[in-house]
Structure 1
Amino acid sequence: RPSHRLSVAEDGPVALAAQIHADGFRAALVGLGGRIVATAPGCEVVDPDPAKVLGSVVAAGAELLRETGRRCVGAGLAVPSAVAEPEGLALNPLHLAWPAGAPVREIFAEQVRAAGLDGPAFAANDVNLAALAEHRHGAGRGSRDLLCVATGHRGVGGALVLDGRLHTGSSGLALEVGHLGVNPDGRPCHCGSRGCLDVEADPLALLTAAGRDPGPEMSLLRQADDLIRGQYDDPRVRTATEQLIDRLGLGLAGLVNILNPDRIILGGLHRTLLEADPDRLRAVVADRSLWGRSGGVPILPCTLDHNSLVGAAELAWQPVLDDPLGALA
């Protein structure tokens, strides 16, 4: 006495985290507590062969490990698709050129082993992992029933934490909120319907509504973010932003009626929409949802940078947390 104070070693082990999205991929090393130690520059091209792109992102992660000299406890992958359990199949990579049902977990594990990295490999939906990270380390901390809705580079995803645990359904396919209908006369969706949240409230929808042609020089998410932040005074940009807010609010209201969450967090472009006009979004949700009128549901922005990467690392860290001596011996 007094007892020694404990802290995480600055040069301790890390997990390799990888994220694939429609406009590229990124690798990172993440320590305990969601601390990003190093990231590799994101690539802007995703090969239609999953093995090639997963090999590239693992190679980028392996190079980070060599540069930092860190020990790897395992690897986690975030993909923009529902991932069926227990096989680890990417069932609907609609915004990638990958074949439906690609065995992404098996391919990722093979690439991790081929790179000579230690530890198990995992794969899951990117928004599920974002929700996991935010619940443990970000805007969702302390929430019991947390709804996360986000749009990254293309499409819209959702995730749910129920009673403190990530809810993925019977086979990993729960909360495909992107295919909620919010505009019966809206744009055709990749799923075969039309007017889905997936095509009515993502970056491409904003650029289209604002009359902007997407350019090749940067990601769609960056272009849409920059448009709202830099040109919100333009009447056409403001009208397009309000249109997306109304569509998003309509979808959130339906989810509130069904799920009754105690908190909603928004990521990607949806975080920017919330910041642009928080009163409008909250009013739409309150007006259109039964429970929203009886007290309201807090709607907050996600707070973690690269939360899907942090969530992917959480998958790899979990065996260590469950059995530290067994995993690290």
Structure 2
Amino acid sequence: MGGRAASGTGSQTTGGGTVRPPRLERGRSALGPALELVHTGRAPTRAVLTAELGVTRATAGAVAAELEALGLIRIDARPSAAAGSQGRPSHRLSVAEDGPVALAAQVHSDGYRVALVGLGGRVVATTPGCAIIDPDPADVLRSVVEAGVRLLRTSGRVCVGAGLAVPSAVAEPDGTALNPLHLAWPAGSPVREIFADCVREAGLGVPAFAANDVNLGALAEHRHGAGRGARDLLCVATGHRGVGGALVLDGHLHTGSSGLALEVGHLTVNPEGRPCHCGSRGCLDVETDPLAFLVAAGRTPDADGSLLHQARELLLTGKDDPAVRTATEALVDRLGLGLAGLVNILNPDRIILGGLHRALLDAAPERLRAVVADRSLWGRSGGVPILACTLDHNSLVGAAELAWQPVLDDPLGALATT
């Protein structure tokens, strides 16, 4: 590994005559797992890191020292002891606040936003939201990358990679956006390839990734937010338009055989409801998104403003308006029906809601939970926790997770190329 951290360890000869490699060499395979433990907050101290990795304290110390030498984490060797505690406290571990960053971007129907995200899911810098979306994805993504480059220049940070969140199912392995309907982009746009080309043309020299925005939001929440500790996590969210879903199983996104799993927006929750662009009628996508709420409340949407912002504001300011209360109850009931169906099929141990659905949960938590419990077999057997997403920009943080993953897999190998 790093020559400086490994120097002086030497090979050791055991009583049986076998030669053991230096601690750092023995811990080479532990670098990535150790970084992920610190990154997700599961190893706040060296003692916890030692236990989680199943290595000796000396090896854990050597691994932590190497990660610190790489500029990824910080070790506090003299933490203050808690009141009433005995013995010397273990070294505290944290991500390096001045360390490398990932360039993250999210494109949606109302515009785009770009951010720099460090380890630990911490947003270091972000651009104001841009409200212009061109029908040509290459023009949009070129502007996205240019905004990211400006952030990097201002921050002076090292960039490890770039991640993009889009409001569309992204097919694997080619990275095409199959149905970016709310962007007016052509179906099947090769967004990952276009994004990677823009990153390369900008001279960043880092890998680029792209995936569905709700999938990435779920990944971020599982690692850093409301989904931490869940084994089978279901996320359902509505952002600016439409509804998306994602499932994290044993810490990994379940994307199906070709990246298209959990298209929950096309569950029917109101058979006599609005026509959906998928060809059906009364889908979650058109019955529980911001536009559906504004229409149900008798409001005329402002075409020049964010539908999500308008719907959230109406929920907050219209609590005493009978039309708003009726619309809220209608959307909560439809959302509950959809969640109950998903609970019956997937049996998750936690549900998290994002976007307007998060606001609906805040507005009528007992009603929503009652609908899910009443309409689902597993709900009746004890209930599934339904929580609000807690990260302000979870799709951006999730896009950064894509870019950070190669570093989490192989810190030395990934950073050697940046």
TM-score per shorter chain, which class? Answer: over 0.9
Q: Aligned to 1:41, which of 128, 134, 140?
A: 128
Deviation sequence 1:179-222 (CA, Å, 0-9, x none): 00111110010111110100000000000001111114530000
Question: In the alignment, what sits opposite 1:32?
Answer: 119
Whether 1:325 aligns to 2:412 is yes
Percent of residue pairs identical: 83
Question: In the alignment, what sits opposite 1:138?
Answer: 225
Q: Which amino acid aligns with 2:368?
A: L
Deviation sequence 1:251-291 (CA, Å, 0-9, x none): 00000000000000000000000000100000000111111
CA distance in 2 between partners of 1:279 and 1:9 (Å): 41
Question: In the alignment, what sits opposite 1:81?
Answer: 168
Q: What 5-or-longer segments of structure 1 have no aligned partner?
A: none
Q: Which amino acid aligns with 1:62?
A: V
Question: In the alignment, what sits opposite 1:224?
Answer: 311
Q: SS at the partner of 1:142?
A: coil
Question: In the alignment, what sits opposite 2:55?
Answer: none
Alignment of 1:145-156 (within 5 A): 145-156=232-243
**Length-normalised TM-score, structure 1:** 0.98
Whether 1:296 aligns to 2:296 is no
Whether 1:159 aligns to 2:246 is yes
Whether 1:283 aligns to 2:370 is yes
CA distance in 2 between partners of 1:292 and 1:52 (Å): 47
Q: SS at the partner of 1:255?
A: helix
Q: SS at the partner of 1:266?
A: strand
Deviation sequence 1:78-108 (CA, Å, 0-9, x none): 0000000000000011211001100000000
Structure number with the bigger relative contact order (C-alpha 8 A, sep ≥ 6) is 1
Question: In the alignment, what sits opposite 1:171?
Answer: 258
Question: In the alignment, what sits opposite 1:23?
Answer: 110
Q: What 5-or-longer segments of structure 2 have no aligned partner?
A: 1-76, 79-89
Tell which structure's C-alpha radius of gyration is larger.
2
Q: Aligned to 1:243, which of 330, 354, 363?
A: 330
Q: Aligned to 2:360, which of 237, 248, 273?
A: 273
CA distance in 1 between partners of 2:147 and 2:250 (Å): 37
Question: In the alignment, what sits opposite 1:183?
Answer: 270
List, as ranges, runs of 4+ consecutive aligned residues in structure 1 with deviation greater than 6 Å: none
Contact 1:24 1:44 (8 Å CA) reproduced: yes
CA RMSD after TM alignment: 1.1
CA distance in 1 between partners of 2:291 and 2:243 (Å): 11
Contact 1:73 1:118 (8 Å CA) reproduced: no
Whether 1:310 aligns to 2:397 is yes
**Length-normalised TM-score, structure 2:** 0.77
